[in-house]
Amino acid sequence: MKAQSLVSGFCSNPTTPSIPNTKKSFFQAPTPPSAYFSQSRKWVSFKIQHSALQRVWYNKQNGVEEVKDGTSHGNDLENGVRRKKLAVFVSGGGSNFRSIHEASLGGSVHGDIAVLVTNKRGCGGSVYARDNGIPVVLFPKTKDEPDGLAPNDLVAELRKFEVDFVLLAGYLKLIPVELIRAYPRSILNIHPSLLPAFGGKGYYGMKVHKAVIASGARYSGPTIHFVDEHYDTGRILAQSVVPVLAKDTAEELAARVLQEEHRLYVEVTTALCEERIIWREDGVPLIQSKENPSEYR
């Protein structure tokens, strides 16, 4: 489906003019606010309101684990914007998941993590979720995880948790097309390189940083992008530049990139929950400045 038809299908006013293509590159680097560019034309905001279903808590069966407390943190409305409900997907330790959860509890993210989805019930992210009263859903169903859900069942489960947005945070499985169609322009992923370089199937974890160093690249850093049916090919939303030092090991580079991941993912999640993601007419997503709504990056 073309980007413009997606906007027309979900915006309340499909005839609203879009931001023209300014032919500029958009990435988030550690630069001052002057990195924003001014845009005086009208823009198209993309706000999704999924079906409002009653929240239900389940016993540990059919791939869903019980939680005792589903209380939302903070006010439901902030400046007229409803507090969002997030699903986070992890396969490992979940350090980005933890950063987002802590930001939510601290009030900087106007949203709550309603559910964690994982393909490994014993991973560190799952343990953290259970310790913090966040329900855990297993996906997909495999030989190692026979209690995992099928794709359509996963979509139904997320609907029951009233999920607005899906955040992939070190989730190593390909997202099924059923989920992508159910949550158009509502699924984000973070990748530890400056995409499109060092992305795609097989590029994950330490393999990415080893490839960056071996290539002689002078810069790396995390990329946050929207998710499509392929690995690391969705529209880029934000990037942050991290220098590659002459004597870097893969582990040293990974540590610096990960630190920047934590900062960038919280910043982008904040904008997402505050409905500050704007789509240019050519399908490029931008982040609207909170301090100056006429500026984007």
Residues assigned a catalytic role: 191
CB of 138 closer than 8 Å to CB of 121? yes
Q: Which helix (H) or strand (E) holds 8?
A: helix 3-10
Q: How far apart are CA 36 and CA 286, in angstroms?
A: 10
Number of Cβ within 10 Å of residue 166's Cβ equals 23
Under 8 Å between Cβ of 268 and 188? yes
Burial (CB count within 10 angstroms: exposed 0-12, middle 13-18, buried 19+), residue 213:
middle
291 CB burial (10 A radius; 0-12, 13-18, 19+): exposed
CA gap 238, 289 in Å, rounded: 13
Alpha carbon distances (Å) from 14 to 4, 26, 229: 9, 25, 25
Q: Render 157-172 in DSSP notation, one character per residue.
A: HHHHTT--EEEESS--
Residues in contact with 134: Cβ distance below 8 Å, sequence separation at least 6, in sequence order: 67, 101, 113, 114, 115, 116
Cβ-contact 160, 70 below 8 angstroms: no
* Strands lying side by side in the sheet with 44-45: 44-45, 277-279, 285-287
- Within 8 A by CB and 6+ apart from 170, the residues are 90, 91, 92, 93, 94, 95, 96, 97, 125, 190
